[in-house]
Amino acid sequence: MKKIITVIGSYNRDMVFQTPYFPRPGETITARNFEMFSGGKGANQAVAASRLGGDVFFITKMGNDELENKSKDKFSKDGIRVNYILQDSDLPSGTAVIMVNDNGQNCIVITPGANDNLLSSDIDACSHAIEKASFVLMQLEIPYNTVKHALDISYKMKKKVILNPAPTVPLEDDIYQKLYLITPNQTEATLLTGIEVENAKSASKAADIFLKKGVQNVIITLGENGAYFKNNEEQFLVPIQEVEVKDTTGAGDIFNGALVVALSEGKNWRQAVEFANSASSIGVSRLGAQSSAPYRNEISI
């Protein structure tokens, strides 16, 4: 039987503008293309995990209109267990305005909407999904107190909790002590540790700070330089395959979704990071975040 993965996090509507470059203050530019996608770090990670073969529960809160019902149907088609997707009757879904330039880089502005209403009481109401899980994967696009509460419950139930600290806020020491794994990117690792993370050497220093605070395992993603792993027994850098980059939005989400699937299948750390790198490099070669998440048959390892 497959190990269950429970993803707790945000759902957004992504409005993606492909622009030649990012506008300067006061400048108006015309987009080459506009598309709307289902997004949000939580949803992207849940979709990536499910497409890659994970058995996934997704706990989130979205608005309540036709578009959301369609997204829920799509999640279901992607194999996600949708019983814990909550809908808020007052607030609209979170929305992200995303600009992607010709180099595949992005700028994102979000308004949280219903994500802000995913409360500790909702987590209690969905605790069955945590009880069933072996791995719980969270990000920081829902209220901090909700993340803390979900972490407390999961920790008490002896679940392996993975925190992708995005978007970053300062974290209390108590959080670090309950984490099986933290997966910041280099900017997030810099903000959280004060170490300027640029390469494997500085990532190692930053990882030491996380380990000292009580996290059991650390993975710092380094963009085109790959991903760096460290725990108290081993450390290594896994380089990433070179691909033609179209859109880096959601690369970290696909990485996290793929990683948790690999861990749930019992792969070792190196194999899990290789699998996650491979999935995210497919993701960056396509437009959109969730829409670019690959299926299992696209990955050769």
Binding residues vs ligand RIB (CB under 6 A)? 10, 12, 14, 39-41, 44, 96, 108, 110, 141, 249-250, 253, 289
253 is catalytic: yes
Residue of 78, 122, 247, 253 marked active site: 253
Q: In what side-by-side order are the strands of the sheet with 94-100?
A: 33-39, 12-18, 94-100, 106-111
Nearest approach, Cβ of residue 248 and ligand RIB (Å): 9
Helix (H) or strand (E) holding 261: helix 251-264
By beta-carbon proximity to ligand RIB, the closer residue of 226 and 250 is 250
Instruction: Say what angle helices 251-264 and 41-51 make with each other, to 10 degrees.
Output: 50
Nearest approach, Cβ of residue 63 and ligand RIB (Å): 14
By beta-carbon proximity to ligand RIB, the closer residue of 54 and 283 is 283
By beta-carbon proximity to ligand RIB, the closer residue of 98 and 153 is 98
Give CA–CA dist 113/236, Å, rounded: 39
Nearest approach, Cβ of residue 117 and ligand RIB (Å): 16
Give CA–CA dist 173/162, Å, rounded: 15
Nearest approach, Cβ of residue 121 and ligand RIB (Å): 23
Give the tokens for residue 126.
């969905």
By beta-carbon proximity to ligand RIB, the closer residue of 40 and 53 is 40
Give CA–CA dist 79/94, Å, rounded: 23
Interacting residues of 240 by C-beta distance below 8 A, sequence separation 6+: 224, 225, 226, 227, 277, 280, 281
Q: Which residues are catalytic?
A: 253
